[in-house]
A and B are shown apart, each in its own frame.
Chain A
Amino acid sequence: MAPLLEVRNLTVAFDTPSGTVHAVNDVSYTIEEGETLGIVGESGSGKSVHALSMVGLIATPPGRIVRGEVVFNGRDLLKLSQRELLDLRGKEIGFVFQDPMTSLNPVLTVERQIAEPLKRHFGMTSAQARARVIELLELVGIPDAARRAGQYPHEFSGGMRQRVMIAIGISCNPKLLIADEATTALDVTVQAQILDLVRDLKRKIGTTVIWITHDMGVVAGLADTVQVMYGGRIMERGPVRSVFHDPRSAYTWGLLKSLPHGGKRGVTRLYQIPGNPPDLTRDPIGDPFAPRNPFATDRCKVETPPLVDAADSVAGHKVAAWYDLRAALATQEARP
């Protein structure tokens, strides 16, 4: 079966006064129907930009899709007209954005906002949409849905608003739901509730999900596959279990090492990855993580490593690295 989404060599650049920013470089991956893909990376890693650019949501100019193909359900999205993209967004691909406080229109009732994609894509009338809106609100766990539908966003708490955003995202039963930092602005307990909800929804409606976050913990609990991005490239990708227990990229290793571990006694400083985030205005040559990588080889600086199957790991675990992380860690531990 063909994958639901296949991204091939997607490259996105922004022309800014201080030079061309190479935001996304040569990103290729596939996602199967029903899969949950977690994309992890720090700010500027290209994780959000690549998702937005797939459906034409970045401003052009300054943004520019240099090359690539995004085949969704048999169609190359990058070749679609504006009109076709409008018909696709919200209907076949739903979005949930980061900040539920600002992602809802403050002067429209929740009902109107959830009903809008239904009216837009299915030509429903307000009355027809109303039943579906209440059904959706109940589905995302908002009690007293019929009354809450008529309220304005400021009458909802942050977690409730994010539930509303998710209701909007899934309103038209999209094949793919892209959540961009959807739990980042929420506090931890609410975050856990939202993640429960998403897991629950996946079971009920079986949507394919791309979950973009900078939180390794969220990915571990939600995703089937994790994809680590840095400097606009995929550094590592594979089944969650395999990537977390046996990372092959120095960046993934650094991210996991810098997580706080519960249960340890005493105050220990958390590990931090040395150096600064990459300057994306440089030509994207070599491994973008090389300057901060203690295991980098000379080759890393001059030649870009391809994303290849990791040696001795499970199927689908891929890494872009010239160095051998396992060997490097082994020698480091062997040193006194």
Chain B
Amino acid sequence: MKSFFLALLKSRAGLFGFVLVLVFVLAALLAPYLGLPVPTRSNLVARMVAPTWTGAFSPGAHPLGTDELGRDILSRIVHGSRVTLAIAAAAVVLGGIVGTLLGIVAGYYRGMVDRVLMRIVDIQLALPLMLLALLVIAALGPSTTNLIIVLSLTSWLRYARIIRGQVLALREREFILSAHAIGAGTWRIMIKHLLPNVMTPALVIATLELARIIIMDAALSFLGLGVQPPNPSWGRMLADGRVYISTAWWIVTFPGIAILLTVLSVNLLGDWLRDYFDPKLRTMR
């Protein structure tokens, strides 16, 4: 753990990503205790109040202004991150575990298992993911659980495809024969020998996927299929605020920046984690 932070301190990009992710996660966890206004309470007198620091007329303390119903934007972003980050993290973990395991199974067993799994991936890739998500949400109804299921459904195949390819190459390597020779069974080989070898690509996919899922979640909310109003979500805020972009730019800008920063910090952190987990790069530091 100590060496983890020591290594982190040496990478500017990694540290930046890590700190930012930490800030977002802490803000999300501690949202109710930050003394922010209630995110769902509207105040029609204080509609579309500009952020305090712009110097424009701004009754009440709204650091990032208020939206068309007079709700505090900072509070809505922070509370919205709870849902967004939880959904994105859950979907990445779920999709990642399922996809990685299926990828290992397909690559290791090959044959029928591989063909069936990869045809499912092909079919799903042929459908636009957004359409698939819309269909499933429309059928199951919008709820947090369904959203997680749908998002991981659009995510597992990327892991499965890439991990399978890696495993196809790895299973022919001599160290897998060595593992057989010391009496390791199928599961032992898949979990103890193949899994650590595909962790690096899986982690890279996970960071890309986390960013993509946050955006997709925003898009689904934008279309009204994600988190239901009046609960705040970043996508929803973008959708509702875009009408007022010419009169109250802050309503769409700040949720947009929140999405941007989250995706950026996750990517930076993921990039660094990938290097950290590569034993060859680690010892060179």
**Chain A positions near chain B (C-beta within 8 angstroms):** 55, 57, 85-91, 94-95, 97-99, 102-108, 116-117, 120-121, 151-152, 154-155, 165, 168
Contact = CB atoms under 8 A, between A and B. Distances in A.
A102 B173 contact: yes
Nearest to A91: B183
A154 B188 contact: no
Contacts of B247: none
B4 to A, nearest CB: 16
Given A107-B196, A117-B182, A154 B279 contact: yes
Nearest to B180: A57
A88 B283 CA distance: 36
B181 interface: yes
B184 interface: yes
A99 B183 contact: no
Contact of B180 (A89, A91, A168): A89
Given A152-B279, A154-B279, A154-B280, A104 B183 contact: no
Most buried by B among A91, A98, A116, A117: A116
A288 to B, nearest CB: 27
Contact of B283 (A55, A102, A120, A152): A152
A120 B174 contact: no
Interface string B128-149: 0000000000000000000000
In the complex, the 5 A-B pairs of residues with the closest C-beta atoms, listed nearest first: A90-B182, A95-B181, A90-B183, A89-B183, A152-B279
B185 A103 contact: no
Most buried by B among A105, A108, A120, A152: A105
Interface in B156-182: 173-175, 177-182
A108 B196 contact: yes
A88 B184 CA distance: 10
A89 B175 contact: no
B175 to A, nearest CB: 5
Nearest to A93: B181
A165 B200 CA distance: 25
A168 B188 CA distance: 16
Given A86-B183, A94-B182, A168-B182, 14 more contacts: A85-B183, A90-B182, A97-B174, A98-B174, A102-B174, A103-B174, A105-B179, A105-B193, A106-B279, A107-B197, A116-B192, A117-B182, A120-B183, A151-B283
Interface residues of B, number: 22
Contacts of A91: 183
Contacts of A165: 178
B85 to A, nearest CB: 30
Contacts of B179: 105, 116
A89 B184 CA distance: 8
Contacts of B199: 107
Nearest to A56: B180
- In terms of DSSP, what is the predominant structure of the interface of chain B? helix
Contacts of B182: 89-90, 94-95, 116-117, 120, 168
A113 to B, nearest CB: 8
B168 to A, nearest CB: 14
A213 B64 CA distance: 75
Nearest to A116: B182
A32 B119 CA distance: 53
Contacts of A106: 175, 197, 279-280
A94 B178 CA distance: 10
A103 B183 contact: no
Contacts of B188: 120
Given A116-B192, A154-B280, A155-B283, A102 B181 contact: no
Contacts of B192: 116
A145 B182 CA distance: 22
Interface in B213-266: none
B181 A90 contact: yes
Contacts of B280: 106, 152, 154
Contacts of A85: 183
A99 B174 contact: yes
5 contacts: A94-B181, A97-B174, A116-B192, A120-B188, A168-B182
A78 to B, nearest CB: 17
Contact of A89 (B173, B181, B193, B200): B181
Contacts of A116: 179, 182, 184, 192
Contacts of A151: 283
Contacts of A55: 181
A151 B282 CA distance: 11
Contacts of B184: 86, 90, 116, 120
Nearest to B277: A107
A162 to B, nearest CB: 12
A132 to B, nearest CB: 14
Contacts of B183: 85-91, 117, 120-121
B178 A95 contact: yes
Interface string B261-285: 0000000000000000001100100
Contact of A97 (B177, B185, B200, B279): B177
A102 B279 contact: no
Contacts of A103: 174-175, 177-178
A242 B269 CA distance: 67
A104 B173 CA distance: 9
B195 to A, nearest CB: 10
A88 to B, nearest CB: 7
